[in-house]
């Protein structure tokens, strides 16, 4: 069967050609603009998600609000937006290797929290173990269980650049813990640790690792920062909980480094060291109804 074609009037054909031409031009313009943006972004290096949508700020403020919701009695006076301003003000616009410990002083003043007298637990070389213990028993409180510690726990990198108002959170962009002494992360944890230790009151404990040669390591934050802030009469005693595993143990309460700890303390503070099997503490975490003192 022959196919019959209908002739299109010349006026309509010209209008169709005009619409088609404008559409092609619009598409070509959009492609050119997209390509230009892509080239600009590529030439300036990788762009982190926090640069685009403020993920880091929203994460920290979100953690702050979550903490306050769970700890209304001890921390209700805090304003998370003001806390963020004080925190970010410590490092924004600065060389990432020139953020001093003192830069976080305004943050310490911006946070109000009731001290947990007789419940404060410090640690060194026992991070995961001690946090598992506090999470399951709720008996004692580490720095990471306070507002600032909860906000920043597991936040590995944050920094800015000189003259910049942008926060970076990438490994290649921000210095690691040991890459320079005055990096934002190390300075923050030193200042927060000092504040936590300064608030120590009543009977205080520290959980140390009996499986290493030097449980009280001089370069640890506990030794270099926190112990220096323990003072009587607000604080009364320090109890060392030396966690032991049996055959892998390399230290006991007679370890030279623990004698150094005793010597470094305010002489008015009482000192006690207990060698506690790891299995005993694990048993406590499995039975959170036990009295906390029975764990060691």
The DSSP result for 17-42, as a single string, is: HHHHHHHHHHHHHHHHHHHHHHHHHH
Catalytic site includes residue 253: no
Q: How far apart are CA 54 and CA 174, in angstroms?
A: 17
Could you identify the residue written with the tokens 């762009």? Answer: 47
Burial of 271 (0-12, 13-18, 19+ CB in 10 A): middle
- Domain-wise residue ranges, the chain: 46-295
pLDDT computed for residue 264 by the predictor:
97
Q: Of the residues 97, 180, 201, 253, which is catalytic? A: 201
pLDDT in tens, 210-226: 999 999 999 999 999 99
Could you identify the residue written with the tokens 């031009």? Answer: 25
- 136, 130, 89: which is closest to 109 by C-alpha? 89
For the chain, residues with pLDDT lower than 70 are 1-54
Phi, psi for residue 121 in degrees, rounded to 5: -125, 120
The domain 46-295 is classified under which CATH number: 3.30.910.10, 1.20.82.10, 1.10.357.140, 1.20.120.160? Answer: 1.20.82.10
Q: Of the residues 117, 180, 253, 292, which is catalytic? A: 117
pLDDT computed for residue 34 by the predictor:
44
pLDDT computed for residue 23 by the predictor:
55
pLDDT computed for residue 15 by the predictor:
53
- 225, 223, 214: which is closest to 255 by C-alpha? 214
């Amino acid at each position: 069967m022959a196919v019959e074609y209908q002739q299109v009037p010349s006026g309509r054909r010209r209008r169709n050609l005009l619409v088609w031409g404008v559409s092609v031009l619009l598409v070509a313009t959009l492609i050119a603009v997209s390509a230009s943006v892509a080239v600009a972004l590529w030439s300036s290096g990788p762009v982190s998600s926090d640069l685009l949508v403020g993920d880091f700020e929203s994460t920290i403020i979100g953690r702050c609000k979550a903490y306050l919701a769970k700890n209304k009695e001890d921390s209700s006076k805090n304003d998370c937006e003001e806390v963020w301003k004080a925190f970010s003000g410590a490092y924004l616009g600065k060389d990432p290797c020139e953020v001093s410990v003192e830069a976080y002083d305004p943050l310490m003043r911006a946070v109000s929290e009731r001290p947990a007298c007789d419940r404060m637990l410090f640690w060194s070389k026992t991070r995961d173990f001690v946090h598992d213990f506090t999470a399951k028993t709720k008996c004692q409180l580490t720095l990471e269980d306070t507002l600032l510690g909860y906000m920043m726990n597991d936040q590995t990198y944050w920094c800015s650049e000189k003259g910049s108002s942008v926060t970076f959170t990438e490994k290649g962009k921000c210095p690691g813990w040991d890459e320079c002494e005055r990096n934002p992360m190390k300075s923050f944890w030193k200042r927060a640790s000092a504040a936590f230790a300064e608030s120590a009151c009543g009977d205080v404990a520290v959980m140390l690792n009996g499986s290493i040669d030097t449980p009280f390591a001089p370069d640890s934050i506990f030794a270099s920062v926190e112990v220096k802030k323990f003072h009587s009469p607000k604080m009364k005693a320090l109890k060392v909980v030396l966690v032991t595993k049996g055959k892998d143990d390399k230290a006991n309460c007679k370890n030279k480094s623990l004698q150094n700890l005793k010597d470094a303390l305010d002489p008015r503070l009482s000192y006690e060291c207990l060698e506690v099997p790891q299995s005993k503490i694990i048993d406590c975490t499995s039975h959170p109804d036990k009295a906390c003192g029975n764990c060691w």
